[in-house]
A and B are shown apart, each in its own frame.
Chain A
Amino acid sequence: MNFWLELVISLVVMLAVVLTSALVTIYVELKAGSHMQARIGPYYAGGRWGWAQPLADAAKFLQKEDLAPARADRTVYGFAPYVVLMSTLAIFAVIPLGPDLVAANLDLGAYFLLAISSLSVLGILMAGWSSANKYSLIGGLRAAAQLIAYELPLVLAVVAVVIQAGTMSLNGIVEAQQVTLFTVGGAEIALPFILTGQIIGFGIFMIAAVAELSRIPFDMPIAESELTMGYLTEYSGIRFTMFFLGEYASMVGLSAIAATLYLGGYGAPFLPESMANFAGPGIFFVKVAALVFFIIWIRFTWPRLREDQLQSMAWRWLIPLALFNIGLVSIFKVVF
């Protein structure tokens, strides 16, 4: 197929998938969160169950005046949300939805993921610095400190996966989780990495991922009671919408990474290889939805950590544990 045609098709499909899943995630958070707090939540929008609430919210946000503080650095201020959103959208380029359903099958897929997802720190720092607002600045710096602290355990957890899979390509990592480990009564059983020695790594990855998203219990950068809304304080209108969409899209994105690395991606037990391209996206999104729901669930359950508790958790617990995990996985890799 023509290279440019292929590029445009995969771009459009990926954009549609990401934005739809972000809107669905917003809806699920509104609805599930409400029920966790013994309320109904969105009810009237769209006629039934308030399904159109995220769309109505987006329409409302877009109508709002696009304000900027008088002393703001206009260029940086205007550009920051798009940096955050771009870094999120780029994650999806390398996520495989099926053996052939991947926008860019990179040999260094895992490396690309970690590199591109760290770019959002830049956007958040830009937003915090350029807003000319003390809350924004403190929020932006907190976000930078947090994202740097939790990038390390995230990377170290992924290193363990790369060691076990023996490749950095995400397709390769998914295929490594479909290797037959043993047979039970003629059925070939393949297990995802979470069940074959990566349980600690999965835990570290999920904690670090929630911290990367700066969501409760790690939402100090936008802690409402302390910093109004952190680096988002001065934003409104379309730029706020971009931040908002970016937050939920990166929630889906990091869940997609976790599903790919630990839960076997598009693969499922007893799935014939010929079906993988058709059933793959469905299976994959079920796994992603489960992880997204988990993140929403802890948001509505757990309290916020203190800033020093956050740092000590990363540096004193998660990083040593991640290093220990790498050692353990390496030993098992050599022994078996």
Chain B
Amino acid sequence: MSKGITFPFPGLFKGMGLTLKTMLKKAPVTMYPDEKEIPVPRARGVISLDADACTVCMLCARECPDWCIYIEGHKEAQEPAKPGGRIKTKNELDRFDIDYSLCMYCGICVEVCPFNALFWSPEYEYAEPRISDLLHNQEKLGEWLETVPKPPALESR
């Protein structure tokens, strides 16, 4: 701005123009319960579990900063691949719970899972009146899997 005599407080009147303009414009609001908000791509809504892919390696539970993942499993003997072969053991998942009252949606469990058993789903409507109902069990976490969007197509070189 040039020095000399200027109009006093130009900012005050500029601000008044701005508020008036904003008032006359349509408010950029999604009327939530009436119309659903569309989450952004890769939104962190809820974590879903593909139980078949889980090997009970416990990496997610160990990396979780809030310790909100509870995993229990047992070893089961597996039929040998060829007759007369050595009997191998396989981990079977008994319990996989995520307590969303503790979860801070950091996504480290999803990142750390080596077998692609955990996915982010954009669903967010799972508020509960009782805090204990926020503990989602294996079955419920599996249901979220249906809401996981397809991964974006790989970039072609």
Contact = CB atoms under 8 A, between A and B. Distances in A.
B31 A43 contact: yes
Contacts of B151: none
A35 B22 contact: yes
B57 to A, nearest CB: 47
Given A36-B23, A37-B22, A38-B22, A301 B15 contact: yes
Contact of B12 (A32, A37, A300, A302): A302
Contacts, number: 35
B28 A38 contact: yes
B27 A297 contact: no
A300 B15 CA distance: 10
B40 interface: no
Interface in A21-63: 32, 34-40, 43
A293 to B, nearest CB: 10
A16 interface: no
B27 A302 contact: no
B20 interface: yes
Q: How large is the interface on A (under 10, 10 to 19, 20 to 34, 35 or more residues)?
A: 10 to 19
Nearest to B28: A38
Nearest to A294: B16
A298 interface: yes
Contacts of A301: 12, 15-16, 18-19
A38 B27 contact: yes
B22 A297 contact: no
A69 to B, nearest CB: 35
A165 B12 CA distance: 33
B22 A298 contact: no
A247 B22 CA distance: 26
Nearest to B34: A43
Interface in B3-38: 12, 15-16, 18-20, 22-25, 27-29, 31
B14 to A, nearest CB: 10
A321 to B, nearest CB: 13
Contacts of A37: 22
B20 A297 contact: yes
A203 to B, nearest CB: 12
B145 to A, nearest CB: 36
Contact of B27 (A39, A298, A300): A39
Interface in B28-65: 28-29, 31
A43 B33 CA distance: 12
Contacts of B28: 38
B35 to A, nearest CB: 12
Nearest to B29: A40
Given A301-B15, A302-B12, A40 B20 contact: no
B19 A297 contact: yes
Contact of A35 (B12, B15, B23): B23
B46 to A, nearest CB: 27
B15 A302 contact: yes
A36 B29 contact: no
A37 B22 CA distance: 7
B31 A36 contact: no
A40 B27 contact: yes
Contacts of B15: 301-302
A312 to B, nearest CB: 15
A40 B34 CA distance: 14
Interface in A77-113: none
Contact of B22 (A36, A40, A43): A36
Contacts of B18: 301
Contacts of A300: 19
B31 A297 contact: no
A39 B25 CA distance: 10
A32 B29 contact: no
Looking at B23, B24, B25, B29, the one whose CB has the most chain A CB atoms below 10 A away is B23
Given A35-B27, A302-B16, 10 more contacts: A36-B19, A37-B22, A38-B29, A40-B31, A297-B19, A301-B12, A301-B15, A301-B16, A301-B18, A302-B15
Interface of A: 32, 34-40, 43, 297-298, 300-302
7 contacts: A35-B22, A38-B27, A38-B29, A39-B29, A40-B29, A297-B16, A301-B12
